[in-house]
A and B are shown apart, each in its own frame.
Chain A
Amino acid sequence: MGANLFRNLSFFSATLSFFLLVGIFAVLFTYAQQSMQEFGFDFLLTEEWEADEDDEGGIFGGYIPIIGTLLSTLIAMTIATPLAMGIAIFLTEIAHDKIVKPFSIAIELLAAIPSIIYGMWGLFYFAPIVQLTIGGNGVGLLTAGIVLAIMVIPYMAAITRDSMNTTPDVLKESAYAMGATKFEVIKDVVMPYSKGGIIGSIILSLGRALGETMAVAFLIGSIMSIPKSITDPTTSIPVLLANNFAEAQDLEISSMYYLALILFVVSFAIISVAKFYFLGRNK
Chain B
Amino acid sequence: MSTTAIPSGTKWWSGGKSPFNVSYGKVMMWYFLMSDAFTFGAFLISYGTIRFSVNHWADPNHVFNAFPFAGHANLPLAFVSLMTFILIFSSVTMVLAVHEGHQMNKKGVEKYMILTILGGLAFLGCQAWEWTHLLTGEHVAMLGDGTLSVLPTTVKMNPWGAELDHSTMMAALQKTSHEQLVAIASTLHHGAEGAGEHVAKNLSNQELINQIASSGLHATHTGPIAFGGYFFGITGFHGFHVFSGVIINIVMYIKTKLGHFEQRGHYEMIEKAGLYWHFVDLVWVFVFLCFYLV
Tell me whether A and B are bound partners: no
